[in-house]
Amino acid sequence: MSEVLITRARVIDLRFPTSRESIGSDAVNKDPDYSAAYCVLETNAGFEGHGLTFTLGRGTDLVVGALEFLSTLAVGRTLSSITENFGAFARLLTDENQFRWLGPEKGVIQLAAAALLNALWDLYGRVEKKPVWQLLGDMEPEQILSAIDFRYIDDALPRDWARELLEESRRGYAERLDLLDRDGFPAYTTSAGWFGFSDEKIQRLCREGLADGWTHFKLKVGGNPADDLRRGRLMREAIGPDNFLMVDANQKWGVEEAIARTRELAELKPWWMEEPTSPDDILGHARIRRESGVRIATGEHCHNRIMFKQLFQAGAIDVCQIDSCRVASVNENLAIILMAAKFGVPVCPHAGGVGLCEYVQHLSAFDFLRVGQTMKDRVIEYVGHLHEHFLYPVRIRQGRYLLPHDHGYSIEIFQESLDRFAFPDGQFWKEDREQK
């Protein structure tokens, strides 16, 4: 493996015109064009590493620019020189002397670090001939820990505690793997409840979802109170009292309003209220949780492990929604998954977008196999679009993710799709401009 040299990085600004169908619409994100800053690492050994970070259209060029710079820190290095102290390499990216000022560890530069590190994990899996969940699942505790930057979290996640957990969780590994391989990992669908969908469409999609075996459904709220309640009642009626309904306000409210609105929506018996307020408001989430009595979920906009640490410390959340691109890739998510276990909070990844489903199935499988060791109260988000562009798309059966067995991180997009939706010069966008 030592001879795998990273020789070149290609970076692509990829944009899909999803806003035209209200796909992905919510109370805050009205017209997203699901997009990605996409990176291909070429090597001297016939392997490629593919990685992306998810964006909503405008501004993807900024992430592409950041990714082009950060990727220069990987090109010319051997893969093993990176992976043998992966945490140190991750810090090289997040702590780059001049770039750091633009964060640190947040926003555009953090999204770009995620894309590059995601590509390295993909490459690592391919070289080792394992899917990423298995690459992690097979690792020695110390190897897993060496991928993590413990800076700023050692007050909440003692390294010794983490090592013991990772050691102890070898027991029962084979049984859990059998179970996971047979039944898959529980999921929920967001595809039925987008903000821009009509009442009729929501009802129809719920019926279709039930027929396909779904048991957990998410509804976008944050409109006017009467509309939210009407749509919520429709969904509750359509799925019945025994299935799970989650509501998601996408950061729409201030703290006081969030408390009032969450209390109102409690009649729907939501399994959780997601993103009731600003993703930065740790103490606000804690208060909403205390004063509404509803389980609180957040994380897709939580920009690093330090923020997650505080969500746990403050008792602010019941559900930890990790994201594969918002924080710095697998490395940082390992830290967050371990902290979630330390604080007893279940991890239910955010997905959807472009490739997020493909990514997070690996993280939940690892969590089940080596950290949390249970599927209780765990579900992975599922959104049913854009998967056709992936060589190794997720497979869903009866509302569950089936364990992927292809090597790497499941993220490679067909060259044809990359060519067609590259922005601004891909064929789709060229034709789009000509038609205007």
Distance CA 307, CA 281 (A): 9
Distance CA 236, CA 246 (A): 10
CB of 325 to a second copy, least distance (A): 10
CB of 220 to a second copy, least distance (A): 15
Binding site for a second copy (CB under 8 A): 28-33, 55-59, 61-63, 65-66, 69, 95-111, 150-155, 251, 254-256, 277-284, 287, 301, 303-304, 306-307, 309-310, 313-314
Distance CA 222, CA 281 (A): 17
CB of 301 to a second copy, least distance (A): 7
220 a catalytic residue: yes
Instruction: State which H helix or E strand residue 39 sits in.
Output: strand 35-43
Nearest-10 crossing angle of helices 255-265, 282-292: 30
Of the pair 126, 326, the CB lying nearest a second copy is at 326
CB of 287 to a second copy, least distance (A): 8
Of the pair 42, 257, the CB lying nearest a second copy is at 257
350 a catalytic residue: yes
Give the distance from CA 43 to its chain's centroid. 27
CB of 283 to a second copy, least distance (A): 5
Instruction: State which H helix or E strand residue 53 sits in.
Output: strand 48-55
Of the pair 251, 329, the CB lying nearest a second copy is at 251
Of the pair 289, 303, the CB lying nearest a second copy is at 303
**Comparing C-alpha atoms, which of 160, 170, 122, 120 is closest to residue 406?**
122
CB of 22 to a second copy, least distance (A): 13
12 beta partners = 38
End-to-end CA gap in the chain: 51
Q: Which one from 220, 303, 309, 389 is the annotated catalytic residue?
A: 220
CB 382 within 8 A of CB 190: yes
* DSSP-assigned letter for residue 341: H
User: Token pair 């007893």 is at which residue?
Assistant: 344
244 beta partners = 216
Instruction: State which H helix or E strand residue 11 sits in.
Output: strand 6-15
Q: Which one from 50, 130, 216, 350 is the annotated catalytic residue?
A: 350
Of the pair 8, 151, the CB lying nearest a second copy is at 151
Of the pair 144, 255, the CB lying nearest a second copy is at 255
- Residues identified as active-site: 220, 350
